[in-house]
Structure 1
Amino acid sequence: MVAFGGNALWPDPGYPGSQEERADRFSEALFRLLQEGEGAALVHGNGPQVGMILLRIEATRDRFPPESLDVMVAETQGSIGYLLARSLRSALARRGRVQEVAAAVTQVAVDPGDPAFSRPTKPVGPCYPDDQAREIRERCGWPLMKTPRGWRRLVASPRPLQVVEMHTIADAVSHGHILIAGGGGGVPVVQEEDGSWRGVEAVVDKDLTAALMACSLKARMLAILTDVPAVFLRFGRPDQEALPRLSTAAARRLLEEREFPPGSMGPKVEAAVRYAEAMGHKALITDVEHLAGALEGRDGTWVER
């Protein structure tokens, strides 16, 4: 089971060539994790891509109706899934390997009563200057957060309860296929009393969705690829310290002490802890460049029970 962020792969999403090159690099790195013929599930982030869609919607709002956030997530699952599936198939062909690769639009059930809906904390989309932020707040009613680069929209980030298409994903992986699923944490949906489903305006954390899927699949390992080589204490300070190994007990204590930012490394550590405690296997947190070294025990952070 592999999870990786949109920023880690595509920090400049406006340039398609760059996206393709980074997808190719990721595909090559992935084969350090996969045994030949082994099935796998991949969960990708979509932050920059959703930001692009929001910019496009804002630029064309006088001509076209806006999309809801759940539809934006589904849209990015299709575009990113296509790029990755194509790149992975090419990497397989270069190795003379025959293996099915597919991308699936994936829904994730959340609780409509989740406290996150009354306390939006997840920033999405571009940064707006003060005057535009005031106009957007009046027109759309969005909660906004001030950042050093401007104002950003805040949305709810409820916890994932169930991957709706989990049986299909598990069946594909058990047959040795590579499935790109749960992109952006999955399209957030809630189930009504009559059994019907509806999308909600929210963003589910992709790493928590990846941990949920990894446990359902009984995956032998969860690898979380981000844009830093390891988990650090005092990150960004002159005395920052990389953690090559982290017990789940120590990780929980550090999470309670808010050592890891809730919007970045915090969910990754929490996801690794959930998987390691539930499955008894190790979880790895590193970046693409240090993946080979991490698998040899030289880089990255291994989280274990």
Structure 2
Amino acid sequence: MRIVLALGGNALLARGQALTAENQRQNIKKAAKSIAEIAKDNEIIVIHGNGPQVGMLMEQNAVYHEASPATTPYPMDVLGAETCGMVGYMLQQEIKNIDNALNIATIVTQTLISADDPAFSNPTKFVGPIYSQEEATSIMMKSDKIFKADGDKYRRVVPSPQPIDIVELDQVETLLKADNIVIACGGGGVPVEFKNNKYRGIECVIDKDLTAELIAEKLNAEMFIILTDGSVYKDFGKETQQEMKLATPNGLAQFTFPAGSMGPKIDAVCKFVNSNKGDAAIGSLFELNNIIAHQSGTLITKGEGIQYYS
């Protein structure tokens, strides 16, 4: 079975955890174990998030610029490409360490977007570390950065335009056919515009779940899985919360999910299911085998209604 796995940046670096290479390495070891367990019997494409990682590089850029004003910060598309190498390298190495017989390839991919996308007038994508409301307000007063609430904390938000196409799609397909686990479209892919017969980077972050859905459709995946903190919930965080076992696009349409977190995930899985390519699921990174067996997480499929875990 051909499976596209979308790994959230926060699944690879837990919320509130220090942005160190060692912390990321330990989390990636756990992710690698889950991926390796299903890799022998399936074709796997891994798309990882990069919110914490690219945010850290942005913060480092800003500090370096203060110390050396002549050194201008690198643009976000370049930082996005850096995180493709950073996370891809660690994933590639740790999967190989678990099973040396597996072939793994990381490819830096460009994702085509439109510079006229309305997302540029309403930034929603969370990047970087978390801050208190007071810290976020202080930073906004001193810069052009925009922060929004993410739970009870605040994080920076940037534009998140819709992905249109994957420039290196043929290369990903070639690697899959050569029996590789392919790590591609890291952070949603490096955002580029094609204009006057040339590609150029755009200052934004593409939602990796939407890019993962796009590549799942284009590569005819049979299952699309978003791995994050856990399942989809009704009334998440409230005393009345209920964990969804099975959901349908029609059933999910009755709920409103946060635009900066679960909202794009729901949009992505519903779009894939409605494409009639296969089923989708949302669940914990550490329950991957059980998600595939429909014993954990939330399965999204055609039909009507919602079923909850008892």
**TM-score for both structures, normalised by structure 2:** 0.87
Question: Matched residue of 2:282: which SS?
Answer: strand
Which residue in the other structure is 1:103 paired with?
Answer: 106
Which residue in the other structure is 2:34 paired with?
Answer: 29
Distance 1:13 1:223 in 2: 27
CA deviation string 1:187-225 (max 9, x = no partner): 111010x21011111111100100100111111211110
Match for residue 57 of structure 1 among 56, 61, 71: 61
Q: 1:61 to 1:130 in 2, by over 3 A?
A: same
Amino acid at match of 1:197: Y
Report % sequence identity: 33
Match for residue 291 of structure 1 among 276, 288, 292: 288
Distance 2:128 2:297 in 1: 29
Distance 2:33 2:13 in 1: 16
Amino acid at match of 2:138: D
Unaligned 5+ runs, structure 1: none
Question: Matched residue of 2:38: which SS?
Answer: coil
1:13 to partner: Cα distance: 5.0
Distance 1:149 1:274 in 2: 30
Question: Matched residue of 2:6: which SS?
Answer: strand
Distance 1:300 1:243 in 2: 8
Q: Is residue 14 from structure 1 mapped to residue 19 from structure 2 by the alignment?
A: yes
How many equivalent pairs are there?
289
Distance 1:84 1:50 in 2: 17
1:52 to partner: Cα distance: 1.0
Distance 2:211 2:244 in 1: 24
1:124 to partner: Cα distance: 2.6
Are 2:39 and 2:181, in contact at CA under 8 Å, matched by a contact in 1?
no
1:44 to partner: Cα distance: 0.2
Which residue in the other structure is 1:224 paired with?
Answer: 226
Distance 2:233 2:156 in 1: 28
Which residue in the other structure is 1:90 paired with?
Answer: 97
Q: 1:110 to 1:293 in 2, by over 3 A?
A: same
Q: Is residue 71 from structure 1 mapped to residue 72 from structure 2 by the alignment?
A: no
Match for residue 158 of structure 2 among 155, 160, 167: 155
Which residue in the other structure is 1:213 paired with?
Answer: 215
Amino acid at match of 2:22: G
Are 1:188 and 1:200, in contact at CA under 8 Å, matched by a contact in 2?
yes
Unaligned 5+ runs, structure 2: 303-310
Are 2:110 and 2:192, in contact at CA under 8 Å, matched by a contact in 1?
yes
Q: 1:27 to 1:207 in 2, by over 3 A?
A: same
Match for residue 115 of structure 2 among 108, 112, 119: 112
Question: Matched residue of 1:33: which SS?
Answer: helix
CA deviation string 1:152-186 (max 9, x = no partner): 54321100000111110111112221111101111
Distance 1:143 1:246 in 2: 34
Question: Matched residue of 1:49: which SS?
Answer: helix
Question: Matched residue of 1:222: which SS?
Answer: strand
Amino acid at match of 1:133: M
Root-mean-square deviation (Å): 1.9
Amino acid at match of 1:166: L
Are 2:191 and 2:205, in contact at CA under 8 Å, matched by a contact in 1?
yes
1:102 to partner: Cα distance: 1.2
Distance 2:91 2:49 in 1: 12
What does 1:96-245 correspond to in 2, within 5 Å? 97=101, 99-126=102-129, 127=131, 128-137=135-144, 142-145=145-148, 149=153, 152-192=155-195, 194-228=196-230, 230-245=231-246
Distance 2:20 2:139 in 1: 26
Q: 1:13 to 1:164 in 2, by over 3 A?
A: farther
Are 2:225 and 2:281, in contact at CA under 8 Å, matched by a contact in 1?
yes
**TM-score for both structures, normalised by structure 1:** 0.88
Are 1:215 and 1:279, in contact at CA under 8 Å, matched by a contact in 2?
no
Larger mean Cα displacement after TM superposition, 236-245 or 18-27: 18-27
